[in-house]
Amino acid sequence: MKLSENTLEVLKNFASINQSILFTEGKELNTVSVQKNVLASATVPETFKSANGEDFAIYDLNEFLSVVSLFDDPEIEFGEQSATITSANGSNCCNYWFADKEIIVYPTSKIEMPSSEVKFRLTAETLDKLQRATGTLAVPDLVIRRGKSDPSKVIAEVLDKRNDTSNTFSVEVGDYIGGDSDTEFKFFFLTERMKMLPGDYDVEISSKKISKLTTTDGKLTYWIALEQDSTYE
Protein backbone atom coordinates (compact mmCIF):
# COMPACT_ATOMS: atom_id res chain seq x y z
CA MET A 1 0.00 0.00 0.00
CA LYS A 2 1.12 3.53 -0.78
CA LEU A 3 -0.33 6.37 1.29
CA SER A 4 -1.58 9.40 -0.64
CA GLU A 5 -0.60 12.93 0.40
CA ASN A 6 -4.20 13.52 1.46
CA THR A 7 -4.16 10.49 3.76
CA LEU A 8 -0.81 11.51 5.24
CA GLU A 9 -2.22 14.97 6.00
CA VAL A 10 -5.27 13.42 7.67
CA LEU A 11 -3.08 11.14 9.79
CA LYS A 12 -0.83 14.05 10.82
CA ASN A 13 -3.92 16.01 11.80
CA PHE A 14 -5.36 13.08 13.74
CA ALA A 15 -2.05 12.71 15.59
CA SER A 16 -2.57 16.25 16.92
CA ILE A 17 -5.87 15.09 18.44
CA ASN A 18 -4.61 11.78 19.86
CA GLN A 19 -1.08 10.39 19.56
CA SER A 20 -2.50 6.87 19.09
CA ILE A 21 -4.89 5.41 16.53
CA LEU A 22 -6.79 2.19 15.90
CA PHE A 23 -7.05 1.15 12.25
CA THR A 24 -10.12 -0.83 11.28
CA GLU A 25 -10.72 -2.57 7.96
CA GLY A 26 -11.93 -0.20 5.26
CA LYS A 27 -11.48 3.34 4.02
CA GLU A 28 -12.56 5.16 7.18
CA LEU A 29 -10.13 6.59 9.73
CA ASN A 30 -11.34 7.64 13.18
CA THR A 31 -9.81 9.20 16.25
CA VAL A 32 -10.89 10.73 19.55
CA SER A 33 -9.00 12.87 22.04
CA VAL A 34 -7.96 11.29 25.32
CA GLN A 35 -10.42 13.62 27.10
CA LYS A 36 -13.10 12.50 24.57
CA ASN A 37 -14.08 16.08 23.76
CA VAL A 38 -12.97 15.97 20.10
CA LEU A 39 -13.79 13.16 17.67
CA ALA A 40 -12.85 13.06 14.01
CA SER A 41 -13.66 10.78 11.09
CA ALA A 42 -12.28 10.77 7.54
CA THR A 43 -12.88 8.77 4.38
CA VAL A 44 -9.64 8.17 2.47
CA PRO A 45 -8.78 6.55 -0.90
CA GLU A 46 -6.87 3.61 0.59
CA THR A 47 -8.40 0.48 2.09
CA PHE A 48 -6.67 -0.43 5.34
CA LYS A 49 -6.52 -4.10 6.25
CA SER A 50 -4.14 -6.22 8.28
CA ALA A 51 -2.99 -9.65 7.11
CA ASN A 52 -5.44 -11.41 9.43
CA GLY A 53 -8.28 -8.91 9.00
CA GLU A 54 -8.07 -7.78 12.63
CA ASP A 55 -8.01 -4.18 13.86
CA PHE A 56 -4.52 -2.91 14.62
CA ALA A 57 -3.20 -0.04 16.72
CA ILE A 58 -0.31 2.38 16.40
CA TYR A 59 0.71 3.81 19.76
CA ASP A 60 2.78 6.77 18.53
CA LEU A 61 1.33 7.92 15.23
CA ASN A 62 3.75 10.84 14.87
CA GLU A 63 6.67 8.46 15.23
CA PHE A 64 5.17 6.07 12.68
CA LEU A 65 4.67 8.90 10.19
CA SER A 66 8.23 10.12 10.79
CA VAL A 67 9.50 6.63 9.99
CA VAL A 68 7.43 6.59 6.78
CA SER A 69 8.95 9.95 5.80
CA LEU A 70 12.44 8.40 5.89
CA PHE A 71 11.61 6.44 2.75
CA ASP A 72 11.41 7.49 -0.88
CA ASP A 73 8.11 6.34 -2.36
CA PRO A 74 7.44 3.95 0.56
CA GLU A 75 5.39 0.79 0.28
CA ILE A 76 3.62 -0.30 3.49
CA GLU A 77 2.39 -3.82 4.20
CA PHE A 78 0.25 -4.31 7.28
CA GLY A 79 0.89 -7.78 8.67
CA GLU A 80 -0.61 -9.58 11.64
CA GLN A 81 1.53 -7.97 14.34
CA SER A 82 3.53 -5.28 12.59
CA ALA A 83 3.84 -3.08 9.53
CA THR A 84 6.68 -3.50 7.05
CA ILE A 85 7.82 -0.33 5.31
CA THR A 86 10.12 -0.63 2.30
CA SER A 87 11.58 1.81 -0.20
CA ALA A 88 10.65 1.62 -3.86
CA ASN A 89 13.95 -0.09 -4.77
CA GLY A 90 13.86 -2.37 -1.73
CA SER A 91 17.13 -1.04 -0.34
CA ASN A 92 15.60 0.19 2.95
CA CYS A 93 13.22 -1.59 5.25
CA CYS A 94 11.60 -1.03 8.65
CA ASN A 95 9.51 -3.40 10.73
CA TYR A 96 7.16 -1.37 12.95
CA TRP A 97 5.24 -3.23 15.66
CA PHE A 98 1.57 -2.68 16.41
CA ALA A 99 0.43 -1.78 19.92
CA ASP A 100 -2.11 -3.51 22.12
CA LYS A 101 -5.35 -1.65 21.46
CA GLU A 102 -6.25 -2.01 25.14
CA ILE A 103 -3.64 0.61 26.07
CA ILE A 104 -4.89 3.36 23.73
CA VAL A 105 -8.00 5.55 23.59
CA TYR A 106 -10.08 5.15 20.43
CA PRO A 107 -13.69 5.74 19.35
CA THR A 108 -16.01 2.91 20.32
CA SER A 109 -19.27 4.30 18.91
CA LYS A 110 -20.67 6.85 16.51
CA ILE A 111 -22.04 10.20 17.68
CA GLU A 112 -25.71 10.83 17.02
CA MET A 113 -25.84 14.56 16.44
CA PRO A 114 -28.84 16.15 18.19
CA SER A 115 -30.94 18.81 16.47
CA SER A 116 -28.92 21.95 15.75
CA GLU A 117 -30.06 25.47 16.58
CA VAL A 118 -27.31 27.22 14.59
CA LYS A 119 -25.91 26.31 11.17
CA PHE A 120 -23.52 28.14 8.86
CA ARG A 121 -20.81 27.65 6.23
CA LEU A 122 -17.29 28.26 7.55
CA THR A 123 -15.05 29.01 4.59
CA ALA A 124 -11.39 28.06 4.42
CA GLU A 125 -10.48 31.74 4.35
CA THR A 126 -12.47 32.53 7.50
CA LEU A 127 -11.13 29.46 9.32
CA ASP A 128 -7.58 30.54 8.48
CA LYS A 129 -8.23 34.06 9.77
CA LEU A 130 -9.65 32.75 13.03
CA GLN A 131 -6.76 30.34 13.55
CA ARG A 132 -4.18 33.04 12.78
CA ALA A 133 -5.94 35.55 15.04
CA THR A 134 -5.96 32.98 17.85
CA GLY A 135 -2.20 32.56 17.55
CA THR A 136 -1.49 36.27 17.16
CA LEU A 137 -3.62 37.34 20.12
CA ALA A 138 -2.78 34.24 22.19
CA VAL A 139 -6.39 33.85 23.32
CA PRO A 140 -7.91 30.58 24.55
CA ASP A 141 -11.57 30.92 23.58
CA LEU A 142 -13.86 31.04 20.55
CA VAL A 143 -17.47 32.14 20.87
CA ILE A 144 -20.25 31.80 18.30
CA ARG A 145 -22.91 34.44 19.01
CA ARG A 146 -25.51 36.70 17.44
CA GLY A 147 -24.38 40.03 16.09
CA LYS A 148 -24.66 42.94 18.52
CA SER A 149 -25.57 45.60 15.97
CA ASP A 150 -27.35 43.17 13.65
CA PRO A 151 -28.87 40.16 15.50
CA SER A 152 -29.73 38.50 12.18
CA LYS A 153 -26.03 37.70 11.73
CA VAL A 154 -23.93 34.95 13.33
CA ILE A 155 -20.52 36.07 14.57
CA ALA A 156 -17.40 34.03 15.38
CA GLU A 157 -15.07 35.76 17.82
CA VAL A 158 -11.78 34.72 19.43
CA LEU A 159 -11.07 36.17 22.87
CA ASP A 160 -10.20 35.46 26.48
CA LYS A 161 -13.63 35.24 28.10
CA ARG A 162 -12.11 35.56 31.58
CA ASN A 163 -10.54 38.91 30.77
CA ASP A 164 -12.89 41.90 30.42
CA THR A 165 -10.19 43.83 28.54
CA SER A 166 -9.22 40.95 26.26
CA ASN A 167 -8.15 41.73 22.73
CA THR A 168 -10.65 40.18 20.32
CA PHE A 169 -11.05 39.35 16.65
CA SER A 170 -14.49 38.73 15.17
CA VAL A 171 -15.87 37.84 11.76
CA GLU A 172 -19.36 37.40 10.37
CA VAL A 173 -19.96 33.77 9.39
CA GLY A 174 -23.60 33.67 8.31
CA ASP A 175 -27.24 34.52 8.89
CA TYR A 176 -29.17 33.37 11.95
CA ILE A 177 -32.19 31.56 10.54
CA GLY A 178 -33.22 29.26 13.38
CA GLY A 179 -35.13 29.61 16.60
CA ASP A 180 -37.01 32.55 18.03
CA SER A 181 -36.04 36.08 17.06
CA ASP A 182 -35.46 36.91 20.74
CA THR A 183 -33.20 33.93 21.37
CA GLU A 184 -29.68 34.77 22.51
CA PHE A 185 -26.83 32.32 22.40
CA LYS A 186 -23.16 32.16 23.22
CA PHE A 187 -21.50 28.90 22.24
CA PHE A 188 -17.99 28.71 23.70
CA PHE A 189 -15.14 26.52 22.43
CA LEU A 190 -11.57 26.16 23.59
CA THR A 191 -9.42 27.25 20.66
CA GLU A 192 -6.98 24.42 21.41
CA ARG A 193 -9.67 21.98 20.26
CA MET A 194 -10.16 23.68 16.88
CA LYS A 195 -7.60 21.57 15.04
CA MET A 196 -9.38 21.19 11.72
CA LEU A 197 -7.53 20.78 8.46
CA PRO A 198 -7.90 23.69 6.01
CA GLY A 199 -11.13 23.61 4.02
CA ASP A 200 -14.73 24.76 3.76
CA TYR A 201 -16.96 23.34 6.52
CA ASP A 202 -20.69 23.08 7.11
CA VAL A 203 -21.07 23.79 10.81
CA GLU A 204 -23.92 22.62 13.07
CA ILE A 205 -24.13 23.64 16.72
CA SER A 206 -26.57 22.20 19.24
CA SER A 207 -27.62 23.63 22.59
CA LYS A 208 -26.84 20.12 23.90
CA LYS A 209 -23.23 21.39 23.89
CA ILE A 210 -21.95 19.52 20.86
CA SER A 211 -20.94 20.74 17.40
CA LYS A 212 -20.36 19.04 14.07
CA LEU A 213 -18.09 20.38 11.33
CA THR A 214 -18.11 18.58 7.98
CA THR A 215 -16.12 19.45 4.87
CA THR A 216 -18.32 20.33 1.93
CA ASP A 217 -17.23 17.14 0.13
CA GLY A 218 -18.44 15.11 3.14
CA LYS A 219 -15.14 13.25 3.55
CA LEU A 220 -13.98 14.75 6.85
CA THR A 221 -16.00 15.43 10.00
CA TYR A 222 -15.12 16.74 13.44
CA TRP A 223 -17.37 16.62 16.50
CA ILE A 224 -16.22 19.15 19.10
CA ALA A 225 -17.65 19.60 22.59
CA LEU A 226 -18.73 23.06 23.71
CA GLU A 227 -17.74 24.55 27.03
CA GLN A 228 -20.21 24.10 29.87
CA ASP A 229 -20.88 27.83 30.21
CA SER A 230 -22.33 27.95 26.70
CA THR A 231 -25.87 29.35 26.67
CA TYR A 232 -28.94 29.28 24.44
CA GLU A 233 -31.91 31.09 25.90
CATH of residue 94's domain is: 3.70.10.10
Q: How large is the average pLDDT for residues 46-73?
A: 96
User: Does 112 map to a domain?
Assistant: no
What would the DSSP string read from start to end of the chain? ----HHHHHHHHHHHHH-S-EEE-SEEEEEEE-TTSSEEEEEEEEEEE--TTS--EEES-HHHHHHHHHTSSS-EEEE-SSEEEEE-TTSS-EEEEEPBPGGGS----S---PPP-SEEEEE-HHHHHHHHHHHHHHT--EEEEEE-SS-TTEEEEEEE-TT-TT---EEEEEEE--SS-TT--EEEEEEGGG--PPSS-EEEEEETTTEEEEEETTSSEEEEEEPPTT-EE-
**pLDDT, position 88:** 86
Residue at a domain's end among 79, 103, 127 = 103
Indicate whether 227 and 125 sit together in one domain. Answer: yes
Indicate whether 227 and 123 sit together in one domain. Answer: yes
**pLDDT, position 176:** 84
User: Does 176 map to a domain?
Assistant: yes
Indicate whether 171 and 204 sit together in one domain. Answer: yes
Indicate the range of 93-107, 140-154, 214-228 predicted with least confidence. 140-154
Indicate whether 222 and 152 sit together in one domain. Answer: yes
Indicate whether 71 and 159 sit together in one domain. Answer: no
pLDDT of 77 over the 60 cut:
yes
User: Does 110 map to a domain?
Assistant: no
Indicate whether 15 and 92 sit together in one domain. Answer: yes
Indicate whether 77 and 170 sit together in one domain. Answer: no
Indicate whether 93 and 163 sit together in one domain. Answer: no
Indicate whether 134 and 203 sit together in one domain. Answer: yes
Indicate whether 35 and 134 sit together in one domain. Answer: no
Report pLDDT digits (tens) over 160-176. 999 999 999 999 998 88
Indicate whether 153 and 192 sit together in one domain. Answer: yes
pLDDT of 181 over the 70 cut:
no
Domains in the chain, number:
2
Q: How large is the average pLDDT for residues 180-206?
A: 92
User: Does 39 map to a domain?
Assistant: yes
**pTM for the whole thing?**
0.94
Residue at a domain's end among 103, 134, 151 = 103
Residue at a domain's end among 76, 103, 130 = 103
**pLDDT, position 179:** 56
User: Does 108 map to a domain?
Assistant: no
Range of the domain at 15: 5-103
pLDDT of 209 over the 70 cut:
yes
Indicate whether 71 and 135 sit together in one domain. Answer: no
